[in-house]
Amino acid sequence: MTTKKYELVELDSGRKSAMEARSGTLGPDCLNIAGLSKDLGLFTFDPGFMATAACESRVTFIDGDEGVLLYRGYPIEQIATKSSFIEVAYLLIHGELPTSQQLEQFDHAIRYHTMINESLLRFFNGFHHDAHPMAMVSAVIASMAAFYHDSMDNHNPRHREIFAHRILAKIPTIAAASFKHNRGQPFIYPRNDLDYCSNMLRMFFATPAAEYEVDPVAAQALDLLLILHADHEQNASTSTVRLAGSTGTNPYAAISSGVSALWGPAHGGANEAVLAMLEEIGTVDNIQKFLARVKDKQGNTKLMGFGHRVYKNFDPRAKIIREMCHKVLARLGHTDNPLFELALRLEEIALKDEYFIARKLYPNVDFYSGVIYSALGIPRSMFTVMFAIARTAGWVAHWQEMIADPAMKIGRPRQLYTGPVQREYVDIEKRD
């Protein structure tokens, strides 16, 4: 780890602050600004954390200019073609690819933790039939803290391992329960003899009235989507899990805060918004009119699924999902999928438009994912839930990395205060 030296000089007074920048294994050097407030009484000001490293991490690396995404050093393109979501979850959490025995033990632990407490199932009866599944999933995960609070010592590695197994195993079951609640259908219990994605599809689509056979093409497509959504460095929801977790709160409560942050349309909620946008555009003929609204910034209309805080090039995940669309839609018999055709034309037109070129706006992970979820029969309201299921692996990995770090401190940002200076209280009689 090399360091470079910097010095900040206050020109009026000549006061100085010496600083050092640490280099990581990849990516920009990071300037340690601890001395600034001590030497010069300064804070840094970086709304939205555009250029602020909030922590040190070894989990995932992104190069936004080159469109690179590495999970524990492995390129997403290799992971996507060679791995499985369960193996990726192990890699993200433990830092290394598992041996066959480690993978078998991890997979077994998850397969045998998929059921949820029956009283948790009764929570769903309290939700309105059309409650948004993200609201139900966030609430029910938070309530898991009530079941596992007394037996959870964040600093006990075995407790952290059991937490990881439980939350990865149970979030598909909770997602399925919210899906069935929306549909007014009976809950379908998980089965230990099915793999992660087959179990999920069966809990979503099986009914007591008929036999249900999982389509292996659908299970494989779902597994790839989970892999691509599993982690993404210090994104808003992961940073939320880290900040909540830094207070020492129950890890289920921290994961629930991540679900809530992910829901926003600027983040994971974009996949649901992309489908709404495509349905609103309707046909290729309407694309230019829609893009004109985006460029005129009427009512803050965005081209959903485009743009990214880090990627100023293609999001590598979007490229993989676009290719996947071609294959999966054909194998599912959706060759003439109008939504996909519209999305392809919209991307083609936007990428040639100066407005998007000048702002380096490219398709991100959310632009095409909904096309596949739709082809799998998953409704738009469940798209971000699918994202949350996948991202739970990343949230767990980052929470564990932070909690296991003896140097961990509670996150507590400061501010640039521009409110009133001190003033005296005025009794109400004198205010009228």
Give the footprint of ligand SDX on this chain (CB under 6 A).
232, 235, 266-268, 270, 294, 302-310, 359, 361, 364-366
Strands 30-32, 60-63: pairing is: unpaired
**Phi, psi torsion values for 62, nearest 5 degrees:** -125, 135
Select the residue whose beta carbon is closest to ligand SDX and give its number.
Answer: 307
Buried-exposed string 332-360: b where 16+ CB fall within 10 A, e elsewhere: bebeebebbebbbebbeebeeeeebeeee
The smaller minimum CB distance to ligand SDX, of residues 116 and 325, is found at 325
Cβ–Cβ under 8 Å, residues 79 and 71: yes
The smaller minimum CB distance to ligand SDX, of residues 168 and 203, is found at 168
The smaller minimum CB distance to ligand SDX, of residues 8 and 349, is found at 349
Q: How far apart are CA 305 and CA 309, in angstroms?
A: 12
The torsion region of residue 403 among left (phi > 0), alpha (psi -120 to 50) and beta comes to alpha
Q: Is 181 a known active-site residue?
A: no
Q: What residue spans of 60-183 are helical by DSSP H?
A: 76-82, 85-94, 100-111, 118-123, 133-147, 157-183
CA distances (Å), origin 103, targets 228, 273, 301: 19, 36, 45
Contacts within 8 Å (CB) and 24+ apart, 205-211:
205/377
The least CB distance from residue 300 to ligand SDX, in Å, is 8
The catalytically annotated residue of 113, 132, 267, 398 is 267
The smaller minimum CB distance to ligand SDX, of residues 377 and 413, is found at 413
The least CB distance from residue 349 to ligand SDX, in Å, is 13
The first and second tokens of residue 343, run together, are 């999305």
The first and second tokens of residue 208, run together, are 């007591």
The torsion region of residue 314 among left (phi > 0), alpha (psi -120 to 50) and beta comes to beta
The smaller minimum CB distance to ligand SDX, of residues 141 and 228, is found at 228
The least CB distance from residue 277 to ligand SDX, in Å, is 10
The smaller minimum CB distance to ligand SDX, of residues 124 and 383, is found at 383
The smaller minimum CB distance to ligand SDX, of residues 10 and 296, is found at 296
**Phi, psi torsion values for 307, nearest 5 degrees:** 90, 155
The smaller minimum CB distance to ligand SDX, of residues 15 and 58, is found at 58
The least CB distance from residue 378 to ligand SDX, in Å, is 18
The least CB distance from residue 311 to ligand SDX, in Å, is 7
> H/E element holding 271?
helix 270-281
Q: Is 398 a known active-site residue?
A: no
Q: Comparing C-alpha atoms, which of 231, 224, 253, 233 is closest to residue 241?
A: 253
Q: Is 267 a known active-site residue?
A: yes
The catalytically annotated residue of 132, 181, 232, 308 is 308
The catalytically annotated residue of 107, 231, 315, 366 is 366
Other Cβ atoms less than 10 A from the Cβ of 5: the count is: 8
> H/E element holding 278?
helix 270-281
Tokens 């949350």: give the residue.
Answer: 388
Half-sphere exposure of 361 (CA within 13 A, CB side): 22
The least CB distance from residue 51 to ligand SDX, in Å, is 11
The least CB distance from residue 253 to ligand SDX, in Å, is 20
The least CB distance from residue 157 to ligand SDX, in Å, is 27
Catalytic residue positions, numbered: 267, 308, 366
